[in-house]
Chains A and B, each alone.
Chain A
Amino acid sequence: MSPILVGIKRVIDYSVRVRVKPDGSGVVTDGVKMSINPFDEIALEEALRIKERNLASEVIAISIGPAEAQQQLRTALAMGADRALLVQVEAPVEPRTAAQVFLKLVQKHAPQLVILGKQAIDDDNGQTGQMLAALWERPQATYASKLVLEGARARVTREIDAGLETIEIDLPAVVTTDLRLNEPRYIKLPDIMKAKKKPLDVTTLAELGVAPVGLSIRVLKFEPPAVRSRGVMVKDAAELVAALKQRGVL
């Protein structure tokens, strides 16, 4: 049996109404609630269920982020991860740097699976899993809504625009999670106490031997989205249909 690696990203909680800073340098994060990226929570839950069926040796939670991301890793440990690793960075890294980090870690831990969220709800890039799979030269199963392990293979049902697609992949592989894969467990108080004793290591890109490669895509500015304005009110169904025709929608 081999381990499962899970990515845990610290992001602004999904219930927070995100606001752009007036100077356009980013979004407001002061005093804002931070959480585990919801898709990463699903990834961790799936890994834990596999381990609970005695199909994995351990679950390692990995975060790339600021020192404060230790909070999210402690939460991951309380959910049931066996140990955690923070790759501490000063500024957010691009997906391909994140993929380089995970590549180093798969070389070290030889996992059967790396389970990541299909995207993080902050930058919404949705790239890291696919990039890791390319660099690792292994299969990818993105947008997973069902994962069945069959020895050295896995059957993964994927949520695609047209419906559901099932593929078979050889292990090791990268799986990225969609919303319907599972419902993450709630954390019980004794688990929080236990999590305090679990190992949480901190490392850096330099220690891992990852140098940001090549030229990078620069973010120049943040802007609030165009605001929708209130439209017209109509008085009955006939007027509504007429208004739709006038807008060329019907």
Chain B
Amino acid sequence: MNRALIIAEHFQGKLNPSTAKCVSCVQAIGEVEIDIALLTADAGAVAAEAAALGGVRRVLVVERAENAEALAALQAPQLAALARGYTHLFGPSTTFGKDLMPRVAALLGVGQISDVMAVDSAFRFRRPVYASNAIVTVEAPAGSIVVATVRTASFQPAAAAGSAAAIERVQVEATLPTHTRFVSRSAANADRPDLQSAARVVSGGRALASAENFKLLYQLADALGAAVGASRAAVDAGYAANELQVGQTGKIIAPELYMALGISGAIQHLTGIKDARTIVAVNKDSEAPIFEVADIGLVGDLFQIVPELERLIRAAG
């Protein structure tokens, strides 16, 4: 029997969906008992949320004041102490998990498998390398704990359980450093989903022709509850901010829905979106390379099509 521990990602009293996706990934190992570690200053409703995830046996709650903010240097020693006796320790491949998990792996004296996208067995996994231009199959040694991060775009969230898992409060013997202190946090676009983790993304290219015209995109994005992205060409032309750039040199994303509007589809852009579940392309040039990868394509004038899409989606919503 495998025994897996998953670190819960949570913020402001809510469980991040990445935790449920980690549970799905770990369930794919088979023959596994799953516990969730919740490091927090105030367990509140989050423990119950984690306990409601299907397939979870126990939620281990470590409540201490130092856990008010998720700082890797403080959480890693606690997680390393909790991980004793487990065969697997998994966390999400979000900025939270990517920051924390390698620090824990080093404390445990093992390597880490980053960005698990498929599970072949309890010790064999597949993960993307070279910006998803190649997939490697890797094998962790049996006999030591497997530490991994889970590429959340590759897994559906675990369904809710019929009955809730047990919630246990645990004490962790770990001295926590004081060399790292939280100062502040600001949401880049508090009113709009984050581009990196959004389920839906509406992205614009050079064909939008001005920063003013980019507002069309924002209106469509609002109708969809989507984040806004841009091609490198649009960013270089000054139509959109740097942090909106999608592609190999910008953000590599894997939303449920990606709408490429007026984007021709340069290789470096396609590298950033190839793992999106559904790609929609609207372009006036029927020969644009974006249509080679689009699930749904529409040739036409985006200045007519985008407002109409917005109207239809609002009507449907």
Contacts and interface: CB of A to CB of B under 8 A. Distances in A.
Interface of A: 12, 14-15, 17-20, 27, 38, 94-96, 99, 121-135, 137-140, 142-143, 155, 158-170, 173, 179-180, 213-225, 228, 230-241, 243-245, 247, 249-250
A163 B248 contact: no
Given A96-B111, A131-B103, A240 B183 contact: no
Nearest to A226: B135
Interface in B43-95: 71-73, 76, 94-95
Nearest to A26: B134
Contacts of B316: 241, 245, 250
Q: Which of A19, A167, A243 has the most CB of B within 10 A?
A: A167
B267 interface: yes
27 contacts: A18-B134, A38-B249, A96-B106, A96-B112, A124-B114, A124-B131, A129-B102, A130-B100, A137-B177, A140-B72, A140-B73, A160-B95, A160-B96, A160-B185, A162-B11, A163-B187, A163-B188, A167-B181, A168-B180, A168-B183, A180-B242, A215-B144, A217-B111, A220-B124, A223-B135, A236-B305, A249-B278
Contacts of B190: 163
A237 B141 contact: no
A164 B132 contact: no
B134 A222 contact: yes
Q: Which of A14, A125, A137, A230 has the most CB of B within 10 A?
A: A125
Nearest to B114: A125
Interface of B: 11, 71-73, 76, 94-96, 98-107, 109-115, 124, 128-141, 143-144, 177, 179-190, 194, 196-197, 242-243, 248-250, 256-257, 267-268, 274, 277-280, 282, 291-300, 305, 308-309, 312-313, 316
A179 B249 contact: yes
Contact of B295 (A128, A155, A247): A247
B296 A130 contact: no
A99 B140 CA distance: 19
Nearest to A96: B111
A241 B296 CA distance: 10
B102 A27 contact: no
Nearest to B292: A230
B102 A162 contact: no
Contacts of A125: 112, 114
Contacts of B129: 122-124, 222
Contacts of B179: 138-139, 169-170, 173
Nearest to B71: A167
A101 to B, nearest CB: 13
A158 B180 CA distance: 13
A36 B315 CA distance: 51
Given A127-B114, A131-B102, A230-B291, A122 B130 contact: yes
What 4 A-B pairs have minimum CB-CB distances, sorted nearest first? A215-B141, A134-B106, A231-B295, A130-B102
